[in-house]
Amino acid sequence: MNKAYYILLASLWWLGLSPPRAEAQSKNEKPNVIFIFADDWGYGDLSAHGSSWIKTPHIDKMISEGMDFTNFTVNSPVCSPSRVAVMTGQFPARQSIHQHFQALKAHQNRGMPDWMDIEDMSMPREFQRAGYVTAHFGKWHLGSAPDMPNETAYGYDEYATFNGSNTIDIPKAASLGVEYVESFIKRNKDKPFFINLWLHEAHLAHFPLEKFMDEFGNLDEQKQVYASVIAEGDEAVGRIMGLLEELGIEDNTLLVFSTDNGPEWEGNEDEKKHTGDLGYGKYYSVGETGGLKGQKRSLFAGGVRVPFVAKWPGVIPEGIVNETAVVTAVDLLPTFFEAAGIPLPDNYQPDGQSMMMALKGEQFTRQKPIFWEWRGGENNDYTWPSLGVRDGDWKLVVDVEMDRYELYNITEDWKEEVDQAENNPEKVEELLILIEEWKETLPTEPRENALSSARNREIKKVEQY
């Protein structure tokens, strides 16, 4: 350091001020990006969102130091397609991914591939090409087949996962995932990095830690287990924030927290233990939507509107609750790319748009409709819609035959309680046309290069006859 810098330090000390973070400021050309994606949390599963019994002090702190978006939705009410939307910046139906990856026969019955296409857009691969070191820790669930590609095929320098290459044991997923992240950040703090930390919490089975069970011992049994699981995920967020501050790189890091879909439905007394392992079962799935209609597997608000919090000191204003910006999961890829100065490839068309203006506290106007497609609904009050679209203030959900639908003005009716279809037939017809036009752009069959060798052999055998 030169003499002038020491004089500055002495002057600041005399005035009782802190020195500037020169190291962080010098790296602003390539900010770090960390995306923490939890599993099956409801919009109301944060104490900052009104829960009276769940405690999330670390995410609440992140909100106080960043921005909380109330109008964020994911692009599927279940895991795998929701994550494909994040990874590709496109609606998952563009790869015929309609439900979660499970087994070859299930994929075949659902008209799905066996994994996310490695030849398509992959967010981490573009970060890698731009000079970033990349890592994925925690849940994967972007394919299911014996011969599916591993995580490096998608652009990761390092990975440790479950529901993927299975290098992490699910009962230890949160603690191990964070430990991997902490090690990766410490080793790469002087390089630009991109990290996905995809938490297991609060997916089934639940594996609450004893320290949190003790902390929530005043609650009834169901809430005690669920609050403990959420607390472990919240602690993971706190550990990452603490490390970034400790290393002096938080000012140069865009940190985002969200979750893949709404909360799981509560089970009955017979579902206390999760089938096949020692974890707690569906009986303890008492997550909160904050009063929104529907839950996981539903295209209503409770299934797709989830927490979304972003922090980037000096870029994102502190303590802002953004109630106006209509943003969604396919917006993350173009947003992260803009933040990192990564151009979109010439032959790539995102379904989302960058929300950097919103992150900076500026006026953000959505230019593109948001579409949903989900093939797993049941004929009940909440999971019957198979298609949906939001355009402007209006959202339409539709069944698979396109003859049952409900229309909501989201600006006036945030919880989707009053069906406006009967009073607005022209708006219904307009949005039905939008859905039909969108469906015409989608594939009718899964891509061959995303099918397992067993599936391809079966297809060729059928073609021979």
User: How many whole angstroms separate alpha carbon 290 and alpha carbon 26?
Assistant: 41
| Under 8 Å between Cβ of 89 and 127 | no
Rounded Cα gap, residues 272 and 120, in angstroms: 41
Q: Which residues of 301-340 are buried (b: 16+ CB within 10 A; e: fewer)?
A: bbbbbbbbbbbbbebbeeebebeebbbbbbbbbbbbbbbb
Q: Which helix (DSSP H) or strand (DSSP E) does residue 3 occupy?
A: helix 3-15
- Tell me, what DSSP letter sits at residue 280? B
Say what the pLDDT of residue 460 is.
Answer: 60
Tokens of 395: 């959202």
pLDDT, block means (10 residues), the chain with 465 residues: 41 43 48 98 98 98 98 98 98 97 94 97 98 97 96 97 88 82 98 97 95 98 98 97 98 98 96 84 97 97 98 98 98 98 96 98 97 88 96 97 95 97 98 98 95 81 49
Two tokens, residue 192: 């630009």
**pLDDT given for residue 459 in this prediction:** 62
Query: What pLDDT score does 14 carry?
Result: 44
Look-up of token digits 């994925």: 136
Return phi, psi of residue 171, to 5°: -60, -20
Alpha-carbon distances, residue 216 vs 219, 235, 287 (angstroms): 6, 15, 15
Place of tokens 């909100």: 63
CB 260 within 8 A of CB 72: no
Mind giving me the DSSP string for 31-82?
Answer: -EEEEEEESS--TT-SGGGT-SS---HHHHHHHHTSEEESSEE-S-SSHHHH
In angstroms, rounded to a whole number, what is the distance separating the alpha carbons of residues 301 and 291?
9
Contact 296, 306 (CB under 8 A): no
Distance of alpha carbon 195 from alpha carbon 176, whole angstroms: 15
The whole-number pLDDT of residue 288 equals 98
Q: What is the pLDDT of residues 344-383, one digit of tens each?
A: 999 999 999 999 999 999 999 999 999 999 998 777 899 9
302 in helix, strand or coil? helix
Give the pair of three-digit tokens for residue 228. 């403990």
Q: Which two tokens stand for residue 416?
A: 């989707």
Q: How far apart are CA 332 and CA 255, in angstroms?
A: 12
What's the pTM? Answer: 0.92
Q: Is 144 left (phi over 0), alpha (psi -120 to 50) or beta?
A: beta
List C-alpha distances in Å: 179 to 156, 176, 184, 188, 251: 17, 5, 9, 14, 22
Q: In the prediction, which pLDDT does 379 show?
A: 75
Answer for the pair 123, 86: CB distance below 8 angstroms, yes or no: yes
Question: Cis peptide before 202, with omega less than 30 degrees from 0?
Answer: yes
Question: What does each C-alpha distance from 8 to 2, 350, 365, 370, 395 come to in angstroms?
Answer: 10, 47, 43, 51, 56
124 alpha carbon, distance to own chain's centre: 15
What are the E-state strand segments in 215-346?
A: 253-259, 308-311, 320-322, 327-328
Query: In the prediction, which pLDDT does 100 show?
Result: 96
* Structural domains of the chain, with CATH: 28-359 (3.40.720.10), 370-439 (3.30.1120.10)
Closest CA to 32 of 338, 287, 219, 250: 250
Residue 286 in contact with residue 362, Cβ under 8 Å?
A: no
Between CA 303 and CA 30 the distance in angstroms is 35
Residue 395 vs residues 72, 100, 294, 435: alpha-carbon distances, Å: 14, 24, 15, 11
* String of DSSP letters for 226-254: HHHHHHHHHHHHHHHHHHHHHTT-GGGEE
Supply the pLDDT for residue 266: 97
